[in-house]
Structure 1
């Protein structure tokens, strides 16, 4: 404040009102998996074109959860790529065509590490052209029936090695292994093998990079190899630990995972029993978890994903029967099913401890709001006016949550939607501590309706 006036006049002091910043939008998904291009840091994308531009075309194949989440309206993806030295790329080798020097054959490597390319077949077919030159077509066929064809690779080129490398650069699945001999291949069909997933330690290292992304409120580890249930449980366990640790820093998050492909109902329920948490969602069947995360992220933080449509999945090959649906829900696994007149929907949105997903998200939103407002008062005076101002700002925030419909009074109307108490004892005062007691009642979705119909005479 300026010094006291000497000459008669007026001095005006301007005091800026404490104004909380707007919270970051909910629905920011932290995604861990293999990418074609590894920048060694987290990458933010909000559309599929940007994803391909920054991380490469084959990322759409090695990390299908990204496309699923974007198709279902996720606010933003924060991708933490697994290390380029982790896992192993799938590969195959074409034998040489004949005994000539140019007929050395060649080897192909998947553009991104991981077992996603295992089982993809590559076929070479020679043909004679009208100008009497010889060329071959290379066809890459995925297990889902989609193919990628590179046509008219001419064998009469002088520098065959350089020509083959350049021609196959257009493939979004594989590239030529330049560390091995390159020449004209034998007409045959080969299959990609030996692609390997990252270890739990590698996933944990990529997960750690998300700690500095404060606006992330959902986390998904895109596991590819489900052959060892113990390894899968360990990776998902690390996701739960990450979410719990970040919640202690007022950065609450919910983790997502999926059951193994071909998993029985009993095995899926057993996996869920090893991952019980109010911060983890286990989805069935395999291959839909990215879409579910996208649906949850597209909803308001207080809305339930129950019976919400999931897009971009096509026909579910491994449809879940009604009996299995009951068993999965009892075991706290979230089934994705196709319902007549509804389409493909999330049957019920719940965490592995049995609570509704939106209840946890409402609580996390309240915690983030409390942290944001509390930070504004750090360093201000601990007096009655300061504590009252803190209480008023918290009340404003909670009133807004109530107006949005995120928190509600008790069903009989006797208990309010929230309660706030701000105080400081004499011992707290000496230590610079102000304590806040806050209670909220998150809104819950209608999951069941019990009706009684009386047939009158």
Structure 2
């Protein structure tokens, strides 16, 4: 209510008259089945059958299943559903106890395991992932490494000087973050040292740092003989060198050889040496590239409680490149050891996860290549032996999804019908009404009619499907095709006499058998100008309220619509004005159903007496007259 204190115009908008029922989805199809790829137990929304093949892998040959006994069902069911008009499918992969993820072992040069790669989702798809470990062709970026106390160096070396190097210190006492300019003691590698006109040899960079382990002076004589000076053979001071040594003046960079070892004309002199740097000044940190040591200016060194993060570039010669390839997807990771590579892989790979060894993870893996799951590695398996419990879990993943039709791919009512019926009863009581379509077991009419289902939300389908190449599929796959057909038509449209897009049926029924199947409440596919639905019935039975599929779907559609129109009124005033608006919203929705020919008519009343108003109740009474379809044409001929 608007407060009227200051004089002026106050407007109170009452918007109940604009409330209407929203648009309602009627053809979203949920399919639960087994596959060679994809997440287990997670709903995945698809718009095209190609997306199913990409996400869940290809269907196998039911005559020669991947696991030798249980054909995969999910992708084939999705393809059949889309072939019959489905537009949106929510797919859930299930997997039995036989599922495994393919693995690959990374080893050190002694053959010991230092890390294991494992495909992120189980399945035989992982056996096609190619793994290659090679020397890296690029430097490795180490990002935000946490340097622990005493904060005197990074973990990996040699470091490559780079503009990407960052040193950040967060002071524990104040929480203030400080950045530093990075200066380097660096390694000068493979420098060609040419003599001056006076025959003297000078290094390009100074001052020269003493005691660098990688330091080397190489002299290749005109005849091809190579002489190397390393370690103690390099003396970092002026003077006359002894035989077998070379002296370097740290200040000038001059090389001095023993008299009998002075390089002759035409000799090639190559030097690798450390280039020093002055001590860091305020705001600087000195990084020694060959060791990774960090030196801070006086008064700026981190203390206990501070946090030091360093980003730097590691020399490629210290790194390994791991390449993972699968069906056009290529992932590359570069790192110095199994610990580092595992962290990179776990953070970014869509194909695998990595687990380093607790003791040996700090070692470098040797170069190798092969397939995940090959040799002594764990072979990936699909878990195509999924049973009742796994399918029930797959249905549970769909409970809160917007789904109108549910299929258990490849399954039949004798083994899984009660699982499906329990799911449909649960969702009907939680405002997620839907119907289920499932196959019938057996090949004889007697076996098919023994499906044991009598539920207005369950449709039992027969027979199975036959392909020209001889492949036959159980009626559980015919159910997927029928579900796609249901999803493609409006709720009021009967499936009776509708064509079904399948290559062939694996069994033809004569008229007597067809009559028996109708009596057994089986939706039967018959050969009749193609392949058609004999009669679109549920398993509830002749004469029952929901024996026809459209009746069940019309009522569910009405329930969705009434909730959509009525829910916005929860919490509003319970008076005549608002109740009239509620009636108008419901009337608009039901009129739309009449216009769409889902109803032939309806009666509606919305009311509340004073006691109901006090209790916050509104009574809505509606009588619906669902539209029915022509099932029989009765002709009487008069001859004259």
Q: How does 1:268-279 map to 2 (within 5 A)?
A: 268-271=448-451, 274-279=452-457
**Does structure 1 residue 72 correspond to structure 2 residue 84?**
yes
Q: In 2, are the aligned partners of 1:38 and 1:55 still within 8 Å (CA)?
A: yes
For the residues of structure 2 that align with 1:217 and 1:362, how far apart are their CA atoms?
A: 12
1:400 to 592, 615, 637: 592
Q: How does 1:125-274 map to 2 (within 5 A)?
A: 165=371, 178-179=375-376, 197-213=385-401, 215-224=402-411, 232-260=413-441, 262-271=442-451, 274=452
For the residues of structure 1 that align with 2:572 and 2:433, how far apart are their CA atoms?
A: 26
**Does structure 1 residue 292 correspond to structure 2 residue 304?**
no
Secondary structure in 2 matching 1:310: coil
Q: In 1, are the aligned partners of 2:433 and 2:556 still within 8 Å (CA)?
A: yes
RMSD of equivalent CA atoms = 2.8
Give the structure-2-normalised TM-score.
0.51
> Match for residue 430 of structure 1?
614
For the residues of structure 2 that align with 1:428 and 1:254, how far apart are their CA atoms?
A: 35
Deviation at 1:177, TM superposition (A): 5.4
> Match for residue 24 of structure 1?
24
> Match for residue 530 of structure 2?
343
Any idea what the Cα deviations from partners look like across 1:166-195, whole Å, max 9, x if unmatched? 8xxxxxxxxx6554699xxxxxxxxxx998
Q: 1:443 to 1:78 in 2, by over 3 A?
A: same
Q: 1:59 to 1:430 in 2, by over 3 A?
A: farther
For the residues of structure 1 that align with 2:593 and 2:35, how far apart are their CA atoms?
A: 39
Q: 1:194 to 1:424 in 2, by over 3 A?
A: closer
Q: Indicate the larger mover: 379-388 or 48-57.
A: 48-57
> Match for residue 124 of structure 2?
111
For the residues of structure 1 that align with 2:125 and 2:537, how far apart are their CA atoms?
A: 33
**Does structure 1 residue 314 correspond to structure 2 residue 313?**
no
Q: 1:110 to 1:318 in 2, by over 3 A?
A: farther
For the residues of structure 1 that align with 2:487 and 2:376, how far apart are their CA atoms?
A: 43
> Match for residue 33 of structure 1?
33
Q: 1:264 to 1:112 in 2, by over 3 A?
A: farther
For the residues of structure 2 that align with 1:5 and 1:59, how far apart are their CA atoms?
A: 76
Q: How many residues align?
A: 347
For the residues of structure 1 that align with 2:479 and 2:422, how far apart are their CA atoms?
A: 19
For the residues of structure 2 that align with 1:87 and 1:443, how far apart are their CA atoms?
A: 48
Q: 1:432 to 1:234 in 2, by over 3 A?
A: farther
Q: In 2, are the aligned partners of 1:65 and 1:290 still within 8 Å (CA)?
A: yes
**Larger helix percent:** 1
For the residues of structure 2 that align with 1:194 and 1:382, how far apart are their CA atoms?
A: 57
Secondary structure in 2 matching 1:51: helix
Deviation at 1:55, TM superposition (A): 2.0
Secondary structure in 1 matching 2:626: coil
Q: Indicate the larger mover: 57-66 or 46-55.
A: 57-66
Deviation at 1:356, TM superposition (A): 1.0
Secondary structure in 2 matching 1:222: strand
Give the structure-1-normalised TM-score.
0.70
Deviation at 1:5, TM superposition (A): 5.3
Q: In 2, are the aligned partners of 1:258 and 1:283 still within 8 Å (CA)?
A: yes
For the residues of structure 2 that align with 1:392 and 1:422, how far apart are their CA atoms?
A: 10
Unaligned ranges ≥5, structure 1? 90-108, 114-160, 167-175, 183-192, 227-231, 409-416
Secondary structure in 2 matching 1:335: strand
> Match for residue 258 of structure 2?
none
Structure 1 residue ranges (4+ consecutive) displaced by more than 6 angstroms after TM superposition: none
Higher Rg: 2
For the residues of structure 2 that align with 1:395 and 1:181, how far apart are their CA atoms?
A: 63
Deviation at 1:59, TM superposition (A): 7.7
For the residues of structure 2 that align with 1:390 and 1:304, how far apart are their CA atoms?
A: 32
Unaligned ranges ≥5, structure 2? 62-71, 101-121, 127-367, 464-474, 542-546
Secondary structure in 2 matching 1:255: strand
Q: Which has the higher contact order (CA 8 A, sep 6+)?
A: 2
For the residues of structure 2 that align with 1:423 and 1:314, how far apart are their CA atoms?
A: 55
**Larger strand percent:** 2
> Match for residue 10 of structure 2?
11
Secondary structure in 2 matching 1:394: helix
